[in-house]
Amino acid sequence: MSVFTSVSRKQLETYLATTDVGELVSFAGTSEGIDNTNYFVTTHRGDYVLTLFEHTPDNELPYILGLTSFLSQQGLPCAVPQPHHDGAVINILAGRPAVLVNRLPGASIMEPAPDHCAAVGSTLGKLHLAGLGYGPQRHNTLGLEWMREGFETLKPRISSQVADLLAQEVNMLLSRPLDGLPVGIIHADLFRDNVLFDNNALSGVVDFNYACHGALLIDLAIAFNDWCLTSRGTPEKPRAEALLKGYHQIRPLSDCEIPAWPAALRFGALRFWISRLLSTHFPQTGEILKNKNPEEFQTIVTHHQQSESLLLELLKNSLALTR
């Protein structure tokens, strides 16, 4: 979440007047995330989050908002869009498509313990199973072809060392396509700042901006890369075992997914390394911004490249704990 588009109090009051959330008390921009403008909004009836979509195509917004409503109905802790008087949940504010959702309780845990990781794993497993019942589909626009194009865009801006490592990873994934794996709805960005805990209980999953139809294993790998690794890019065994065990107990991994695990981890790491490099070398402008360090994922990519057998062994040992 960030602030790229400023909203005045008068503009927000006019926007809220077409809803039933009550009169505005206060609002403030937030710097979390990197894609959309977000404000925390308090009215006399409750707390909400206002999102102004900066880049998501208008025709994809119903998919995202319908998904969060659907998952909430299935018992997942997801925010629900607040409708306007005409029944629409999307309206224009400051020239951007805007949505108001209920603010979920809790806060992000940036230093997670194994219990937090276990809750993330089981919640992701529940999300994947629930998502099988969601009819609409959205193509994953941040797949391997996007990575290849992003690498070509970055080439003039990055060192030869970074370019060589990126090229190795892109070529590896081209030679080891992750085809034939179980697919469904994936969150695609289940980082620590997109999960809320209230009194150590998982209370919210937020930011479905990248949600799409894709390989479920890659979604698990994306979560693993953020929740289970040290600053050196190495797995912290208790957290890793807890997340993998928690997931596997809800949605057991199939025989074809297990050998694909190292490549899925490298896919997930490369996707976020490239996106962070693009944000660094081609920054957006905004009132409140929080860009994330691409070197974190360079470290992860380097470790995964050198440690495939250890990562696979860790997965197998973690799954054995569920028997």
Q: Which range of residues forms the domain containing residue 292?
A: 114-320
Instruction: Say how far residue 198 (Cα) sits from the centre of its chain.
Output: 19
| pLDDT averaged per 10 residues in sequence order, the chain, 323 residues | 85 97 96 80 97 92 97 98 96 96 97 98 98 96 95 96 97 94 98 96 96 98 98 97 98 97 98 96 68 91 97 97 83
Q: Could you tell me if residue 247 is inside a domain?
A: yes
Q: Could you tell me if residue 316 is inside a domain?
A: yes
Q: Could you tell me if residue 108 is inside a domain?
A: no
Residues 6+ apart with CB under 8 A from 202: 77, 116, 119, 120, 123, 195, 196
- Domain finish residue from 41, 76, 102: 102
> Are residues 294 and 231 located together in one domain of the fold?
yes
User: How far is 68 from 249, CA to CA, in rounded Å?
Assistant: 23
Per-residue confidence (pLDDT) for residue 323, from 0 to 100: 75
Give the pLDDT confidence of 76-130 residue by residue, as tens digits.
999 999 999 999 999 999 999 999 999 999 999 999 999 999 999 999 999 999 9
Q: Could you tell me if residue 260 is inside a domain?
A: yes
Length of the chain as a residue count? 323
Q: How many domains does the chain have?
A: 2
Report the CATH number at residue 76.
3.30.200.20
Q: Could you tell me if residue 136 is inside a domain?
A: yes
> pTM for the complete prediction?
0.95
- Domain finish residue from 61, 81, 102: 102
